[in-house]
Amino acid sequence: MVYATPIRKGECRLFARFPFKFSSILPGLFLKLTPRWYAHIGQNRVLEDDLIFLHYQERYLEKLGGSANFTKAFYLPTKADLFVSGLRSWVNQYKAEPFKEVQSLPLPLSKEVLLDRYHSHTKKCASCRPALAQVQRLRVGLVLVVALIWGLLPLLMLIPNQISIITIVVSSLVMIIGLLIWLGLGKLEQQFYQGGEIPPRNLPG
Whether residue 160 has pLDDT greater than 80: no
Whether residue 77 has pLDDT greater than 80: yes
Look up the pTM and report it: 0.80
d(CA 97, CA 106): 17
* pLDDT single digits (tens) 52-67: 888 999 999 999 988 8
| 100 and 6 Cβ atoms separated by less than 8 Å | no
pLDDT band, very low/low/confident/very high, at 90 (cuts 50, 70, 90): very high
Please give the DSSP secondary-structure letter assigned to residue 197: S
What pLDDT is recorded for position 96? 86
What pLDDT is recorded for position 197? 84
Would you kindly state where each structural domain of the chain is located, as residue ranges? 2-109, 123-202
What pLDDT is recorded for position 163? 66
pLDDT > 90: percent of the chain: 42
Sign of the dihedral through C-alpha 64, 67, 68, 74: positive
For residue 11, give the 3-state DSSP assignment.
Answer: strand
pLDDT band, very low/low/confident/very high, at 179 (cuts 50, 70, 90): very high
* pLDDT single digits (tens) 133-142: 999 999 999 9
